[in-house]
Amino acid sequence: MLVLGGTGEARRLATALVEAGRPVLSSLAGRVAEPLLPLGEVRIGGFGGAAGLAAWLREEAPPAVVDATHPFAAGMTASAAEAAAATGVPLLRLQRPGWTAGPGDGWRWVDSLEEAAGAVAGFGSVFVTTGRQGLAAFAGLEGRCLVRSVDPPAPPLPRDVTVVLARGPFSVADETALMRAHGVDVVVTKDSGGSMTAAKLTAARHLGVPVVLVRRPPLPAGVPVVATVGEALAWLVEIGSRREGS
């Protein structure tokens, strides 16, 4: 079984498969210097786009592929869909639900990092939590900018930037203290969903700080999508039953 991973859901799926005695290969993009590794065999590095992944699928012939990459890993998701269609290997998208605003949330939705940068251009202290990829979109900000990422970001960066290197999960108390310490008056994030990094949204609500959220990219058409590891396991069982009955 091939799991395109890098998320908590991918690690939990790999663990469940290994514990069930099912061989699994987790593929990680290698964008983080010290990734959290799942159980089972691990492959780090890309396949070389859709063509490279299709060649690997033809050679290795896994029974199925689960794309459990980050909701914003649009390139890998597109390559997986193209490669699966070319080879006939069943593909499932495992993607956690996005965040939903609640009472007291001051959210503004945008479609890109560039649009997000424009939306916060007039603020004095911006907390950017979109990861180190794409920070060039915020390089022109004139105010103070607090950037958090797992690994050190590469330039270009905002002129007045403070970088915090940290990996979630984060508590509401810690996020609140961080925002207060840096005088944050707006937060920028992607709609990643999940609980590991949601505390900043709660902290922003408590502090009355607005949040600019980047919408997720659209998913490829025709690929089934589930939201939980349990649903993914049920799908894999169904795929296995079809293979045995064919």
134 in the same domain as 90: no
| CB-based burial label for 129 (10 Å; 0-12, 13-18, 19+) | buried
Is 189 found in the same domain as 117?
yes
Mean pLDDT of all residues belonging to the chain: 95
User: 7 lies in a domain?
Assistant: yes
163 and 232 co-located in one domain: no
If asked whether residues 39 and 84 sit together in one domain, one would say yes
- 192 shares a domain with 115: yes
> What CATH number does residue 16 fall under?
3.40.50.720
Q: How many separate domains does the chain show?
A: 2
Residue 234 has pLDDT above 70, yes or no: yes
Percent of the chain with pLDDT over 90: 88
Is pLDDT above 90 for 62? yes
Q: Is residue 209 part of a domain?
A: yes
Same structural domain, 38 and 9: yes
- Which CATH number belongs to the domain containing residue 118 in this structure? 3.40.50
Specify whether 221 is located in the same domain as 209.
no
Give the gyration radius of the chain's Cα atoms.
20
Buried/exposed 202-225: b ≥16 CB within 10 Å, e otherwise: bbbbeeebbbbbbebeebbeebee
The reply to whether 54 and 125 lie within a common domain is: no
Instruction: Write out pLDDT tens, residues 68-115.
Output: 999 999 999 999 999 999 999 999 999 999 999 999 999 999 999 999
Assess if residue 233 is contained within a domain.
yes
Q: Which three-class secondary structure state does DSSP give residue 118?
A: helix
Which stretches of the chain are DSSP H helices? 8-19, 49-60, 74-87, 113-119, 172-181, 199-207, 229-245
How far is the CA of 147 from the CAs of 70, 93, 153, in angstroms? 19, 30, 9
Q: What is the pTM of this model?
A: 0.93
Confidence at 245, pLDDT banded by 50, 70, 90: low
List Cβ neighbours of 166 (8 Å cut-off, separation of 6 or more).
148, 150
CA-to-CA distance for 57 and 175, rounded, in angstroms?
Answer: 43
Handedness of CA 55, 59, 64, 70 (dihedral sign): negative
Confidence of residue 168 (pLDDT cuts 50, 70, 90): confident
More confident residue, 34 or 176: 176
> Residue range 194-217: average pLDDT?
96
pLDDT of residue 196: 86
On whether residue 21 sits in a domain, the answer given is yes
Residues 114 and 178 in one domain: yes
* CB count in 10 Å sphere of residue 3: 30
CA distance 229 to 23: 17
Tokens 């663990």 correspond to what residue?
Answer: 15
Residues 160, 112, single domain; the answer is yes
121 Cβ contact partners less than 8 Å away, ≥ 6 residues apart: 140, 141, 142
> Which residue segment(s) compose the domain that 201 sits in?
107-214
Query: Which of 230, 235, 226, 231 has its CA nearest to residue 93?
Result: 226
Q: What is the pLDDT of residues 219-233, one digit of tens each?
A: 999 999 999 999 999
Asked if residue 102 belongs to a domain, the reply is no
120 and 186: one domain? yes
* Residue at 86 is within a domain: yes
Angle at alpha carbon of residue 119, lines to 117 and 120, rounded to 5°: 70
Question: Domain check: are 186 and 207 in the same one?
Answer: yes
